[in-house]
Structure 1
Protein backbone atom coordinates (compact mmCIF):
# COMPACT_ATOMS: atom_id res chain seq x y z
CA UNK A 1 0.00 0.00 0.00
CA UNK A 2 1.26 3.45 -0.87
CA UNK A 3 2.19 5.62 2.06
CA UNK A 4 0.60 8.90 0.95
CA UNK A 5 -3.07 8.87 0.04
CA UNK A 6 -4.80 11.84 -1.53
CA UNK A 7 -8.36 11.97 -0.26
CA UNK A 8 -11.25 13.89 -1.76
CA UNK A 9 -13.60 15.84 0.51
CA UNK A 10 -15.82 12.78 1.01
CA UNK A 11 -12.71 10.81 2.07
CA UNK A 12 -12.57 8.88 -1.21
CA UNK A 13 -9.02 7.92 -2.15
CA UNK A 14 -8.30 9.46 -5.54
CA UNK A 15 -4.50 9.11 -5.75
CA UNK A 16 -1.80 7.32 -3.81
CA UNK A 17 1.98 7.37 -3.92
CA UNK A 18 5.08 6.46 -1.96
CA UNK A 19 6.26 10.04 -2.54
CA UNK A 20 4.83 12.98 -0.60
CA UNK A 21 6.01 15.34 -3.34
CA UNK A 22 4.21 13.29 -6.00
CA UNK A 23 1.02 13.46 -3.95
CA UNK A 24 1.37 17.23 -3.52
CA UNK A 25 2.07 17.63 -7.25
CA UNK A 26 -1.08 15.65 -8.07
CA UNK A 27 -3.20 17.89 -5.84
CA UNK A 28 -1.66 21.08 -7.22
CA UNK A 29 -2.32 19.90 -10.78
CA UNK A 30 -5.97 19.29 -9.94
CA UNK A 31 -6.23 22.72 -8.29
CA UNK A 32 -4.76 24.38 -11.38
CA UNK A 33 -7.32 22.54 -13.49
CA UNK A 34 -10.07 24.28 -11.54
CA UNK A 35 -10.76 22.07 -8.52
CA UNK A 36 -10.98 23.73 -5.12
CA UNK A 37 -7.89 23.39 -2.95
CA UNK A 38 -9.83 22.59 0.20
CA UNK A 39 -11.43 19.57 -1.44
CA UNK A 40 -8.23 17.52 -1.18
CA UNK A 41 -6.04 16.36 1.69
CA UNK A 42 -3.01 14.09 1.87
CA UNK A 43 -2.94 11.38 4.53
CA UNK A 44 0.26 9.69 5.64
CA UNK A 45 -0.69 6.08 6.40
CA UNK A 46 2.44 5.49 8.52
CA UNK A 47 2.52 8.57 10.75
CA UNK A 48 -1.19 9.39 10.65
CA UNK A 49 -0.42 13.00 9.69
CA UNK A 50 -2.61 14.91 7.26
CA UNK A 51 -1.67 17.81 5.00
CA UNK A 52 -4.04 20.19 3.30
CA UNK A 53 -3.77 23.30 1.17
CA UNK A 54 -6.23 26.10 1.94
CA UNK A 55 -5.60 27.94 -1.31
CA UNK A 56 -3.07 30.21 -2.99
CA UNK A 57 -0.89 32.50 -0.94
CA UNK A 58 -1.80 36.17 -1.10
CA UNK A 59 1.59 37.27 -2.43
CA UNK A 60 1.82 34.55 -5.08
CA UNK A 61 -1.49 33.23 -6.45
CA UNK A 62 0.19 30.32 -8.25
CA UNK A 63 1.81 28.98 -5.05
CA UNK A 64 -0.18 26.86 -2.64
CA UNK A 65 0.95 26.62 0.95
CA UNK A 66 0.75 23.27 2.64
CA UNK A 67 -0.15 22.94 6.28
CA UNK A 68 -0.61 20.02 8.64
CA UNK A 69 -3.87 19.39 10.41
Structure 2
Protein backbone atom coordinates (compact mmCIF):
# COMPACT_ATOMS: atom_id res chain seq x y z
CA UNK A 1 0.00 0.00 0.00
CA UNK A 2 1.27 3.44 -0.93
CA UNK A 3 0.27 6.52 1.07
CA UNK A 4 0.05 9.88 -0.68
CA UNK A 5 0.03 13.26 1.02
CA UNK A 6 -1.90 16.22 -0.37
CA UNK A 7 -2.16 19.84 0.74
CA UNK A 8 -5.73 20.81 -0.10
CA UNK A 9 -7.07 24.36 -0.10
CA UNK A 10 -10.72 25.19 0.63
CA UNK A 11 -12.49 28.54 0.68
CA UNK A 12 -13.46 29.55 4.20
CA UNK A 13 -16.96 28.21 4.88
CA UNK A 14 -16.79 26.10 1.72
CA UNK A 15 -16.80 22.37 1.22
CA UNK A 16 -15.46 22.13 -2.34
CA UNK A 17 -11.66 22.18 -2.67
CA UNK A 18 -10.09 24.91 -4.78
CA UNK A 19 -6.82 23.06 -5.25
CA UNK A 20 -4.94 20.01 -4.13
CA UNK A 21 -1.17 19.61 -4.39
CA UNK A 22 0.65 16.29 -4.10
CA UNK A 23 3.33 16.73 -1.45
CA UNK A 24 4.22 13.06 -1.02
CA UNK A 25 7.85 13.78 -1.90
CA UNK A 26 8.25 15.65 1.41
CA UNK A 27 7.91 12.30 3.17
CA UNK A 28 5.92 10.89 6.05
CA UNK A 29 8.69 11.61 8.56
CA UNK A 30 8.52 15.36 7.92
CA UNK A 31 4.71 15.44 8.03
CA UNK A 32 4.67 13.40 11.23
CA UNK A 33 7.19 15.77 12.81
CA UNK A 34 5.14 18.80 11.74
CA UNK A 35 1.95 17.36 13.22
CA UNK A 36 3.59 15.88 16.32
CA UNK A 37 2.76 12.27 15.62
CA UNK A 38 4.41 9.09 14.46
CA UNK A 39 4.54 9.01 10.64
CA UNK A 40 2.99 5.54 10.47
CA UNK A 41 -0.12 6.93 12.20
CA UNK A 42 -0.83 9.53 9.49
CA UNK A 43 -4.07 8.26 7.97
CA UNK A 44 -6.61 11.07 8.13
CA UNK A 45 -7.21 14.74 7.31
CA UNK A 46 -5.31 17.29 9.40
CA UNK A 47 -5.97 21.05 9.49
CA UNK A 48 -2.94 23.22 8.83
CA UNK A 49 -2.82 26.15 11.22
CA UNK A 50 -0.80 29.36 11.52
CA UNK A 51 1.69 27.37 13.63
CA UNK A 52 2.30 25.10 10.63
CA UNK A 53 2.42 27.78 7.91
CA UNK A 54 6.13 28.61 7.88
CA UNK A 55 7.24 24.99 7.99
CA UNK A 56 4.76 23.99 5.24
CA UNK A 57 6.21 26.74 3.05
CA UNK A 58 9.76 25.58 3.82
CA UNK A 59 8.89 21.98 2.97
CA UNK A 60 6.69 22.54 -0.08
CA UNK A 61 6.99 26.12 -1.32
CA UNK A 62 3.24 26.52 -0.73
CA UNK A 63 2.42 29.80 1.05
CA UNK A 64 -0.70 29.38 3.17
CA UNK A 65 -3.08 32.36 2.98
CA UNK A 66 -4.98 31.48 6.14
CA UNK A 67 -6.96 34.73 6.13
CA UNK A 68 -8.76 33.73 2.93
CA UNK A 69 -8.55 29.93 2.87
CA UNK A 70 -8.40 26.79 4.99
CA UNK A 71 -5.73 24.19 4.32
CA UNK A 72 -5.52 20.54 5.19
CA UNK A 73 -2.95 17.80 4.92
CA UNK A 74 -4.89 14.87 3.52
CA UNK A 75 -3.72 11.29 3.22
CA UNK A 76 -4.79 8.88 0.52
CA UNK A 77 -3.82 5.26 0.08
CA UNK A 78 -4.01 2.96 -2.91
TM-score (norm 2): 0.28
Which structure features the higher share of helix residues? 2
TM-score (norm 1): 0.30
